[in-house]
Amino acid sequence: MRIITVSREFGSGGRELGKRLATELGWDYYDREIIAEIARKCSVSEDYAHYMLGQTFSSSAAITMGQSFHIPEVLQSTQIKLLREQTNVIKEIAARDRDCVIVGRNADLLLRDYNPLNIFVCADTASKIKRCAERSGKDENLSEKELLKNMKAIDKNRKNSREMISDSPWGDPKGYNLIINTSGVEIKKLIPSVAVFAKGWFESKDKD
Amino acid sequence: MRIITVSREFGSGGRELGKRLATELGWDYYDREIIAEIARKCSVSEDYAHYMLGQTFSSSAAITMGQSFHIPEVLQSTQIKLLREQTNVIKEIAARDRDCVIVGRNADLLLRDYNPLNIFVCADTASKIKRCAERSGKDENLSEKELLKNMKAIDKNRKNSREMISDSPWGDPKGYNLIINTSGVEIKKLIPSVAVFAKGWFESKDKD
């Protein structure tokens, strides 16, 4: 079984890359499906699970709620429960023993025993803003400033959630096998090459 | 014309990757040839040119020579002359208008107008030490401690020489198009996939 994990900066096109890569390879694909499964197991709504898993309450909730250095216990315990379930769900996916691509959720760390190909996707700020602007619906007309603020907040949560369970800094080349900078590149056109690279990578691994 | 530049950490196998990639693609390859050309043009030996271009005298010479904050003018002017010639030689290579792979020498920055595919090669410390130990001749029996010291010194010079002419930090994902971590990978086996990726990358570039 081969597992590819995709971590990414918000707006870099990492999810698109992961999804298209899975299609190109004909492998299983997991992203929001993980949230749905966690929500089902914990009897909460998907939106709630998504929100809670995207926050790092250790720092942000205290500020949001104006209670410095105090995070309500109910939030803490719910988040811990959801995080624990997330680990279970991701390990169950690996136990299915089928080639797959998993986007986000620190799957690279949780599945390190399976020696996945860990890809990180980044892009320069201008490309990310352009991509977000193209992607967002006509209803949400965010200014560039608001977009940048959201982008930073989401990436900060991703960084925190990684660094809570690992010494390997988020987005640092040493923590991944491949980093793709999507600036100036049409992801759709790049996919066949990424797929060839991925298959080649699994074959070129040291046997020791 | 397509240009691939390869920057790398010492011991990561970046030169091997660059050389094999050029062979696989059937493209021209430049590495030490650049030094030879500079040496010829400046009427110095290759070893001297190599040494002088590998140093960042702004900081290191002052310490080596025990003259704090003073670098002999003759060294400064020789190095500036060699660096200027290096820029010329690299631009002449690009002007040949042939597909090529160039290893090192900040070619990614010097040739940015040609939109090269800029690859950075890294690896974890254990892999780099293993690679260096395998590569070094039986004559030079360096201890692991000495090896690490050399490794750090060379990478520091590479970092300094980049950051003297660019705001983009050495090894930072945003400054390259692709980062390959060679830890646990047999480079020779990976090359066909890197070649496919490289060709695909040039075809997937935005036209705007």
- Which two three-digit tokens encode residue B54? 């590998």
- How far is it between the farthest Cα atoms of chain B? 54
Average pLDDT for B161-174: 90
Instruction: Give contacts of A180 with chain B, Cβ < 8 Å.
Output: 177-178
**ipTM entry:** 0.83
Instruction: Give contacts of A199 with chain B, Cβ < 8 Å.
Output: 193
Write down the residue that tokens 């390259």 correspond to: B176
Using one digit for the tens of pLDDT, what is the confidence trace for B24-43?
999 999 998 999 999 999 99
> Do the chains contact at A200 and B185, CB–CB below 8 Å?
no
Q: How far is CA A96 from the centre of its chain?
A: 20
Strand duo A178-181 + B100-103: pairing: unpaired
Angle at B150 between CA B146 and CA B151, to 5 degrees: 115
pLDDT computed for residue A106 by the predictor:
92
> Could you say which of A186, A198, A206 has the minimum Cβ distance to residue B206?
A186
Distances (CA, A) of B136 to B128, B141, B171: 12, 8, 25
Residue B65 has pLDDT above 50, yes or no: no
Residue B138 has pLDDT above 60, yes or no: no
pLDDT tens, per residue, chain A with 208 residues? 999 999 999 999 999 999 999 999 999 999 989 999 999 999 999 999 988 887 765 444 444 444 445 556 666 778 888 888 999 999 999 999 999 999 999 999 999 999 999 999 999 999 999 888 887 765 567 788 888 998 999 999 899 888 888 889 999 999 999 999 999 999 999 999 999 999 999 999 876 5
| Top-confidence residue, B137 or A19 | A19
- Which two three-digit tokens encode residue A85? 């379930």
Q: Are B123 and B184 in contact (CB under 8 A)?
A: no
- Which two three-digit tokens encode residue A172? 């640092």
Angle at B102 between CA B174 and CA B14, to 5 degrees: 65
- Which two three-digit tokens encode residue A196? 């060839």
What's this model's pTM, rounded to 2 decimal places?
A: 0.86
Q: Rounded to the nearest 5°, which phi and psi values hold at A43?
A: 55, 45
- Which two three-digit tokens encode residue B142? 């360096």
Residue B164 has pLDDT above 90, yes or no: no
Q: Are A1 and A93 in contact (CB under 8 A)?
A: no
> Do the chains contact at B204 and A193, CB–CB below 8 Å?
yes
Q: What is the mean pLDDT of chain B?
A: 87
Using one digit for the tens of pLDDT, what is the confidence trace for B7-24?
999 999 999 999 999 999
Give, as one character, the DSSP assignment of residue A185.
B
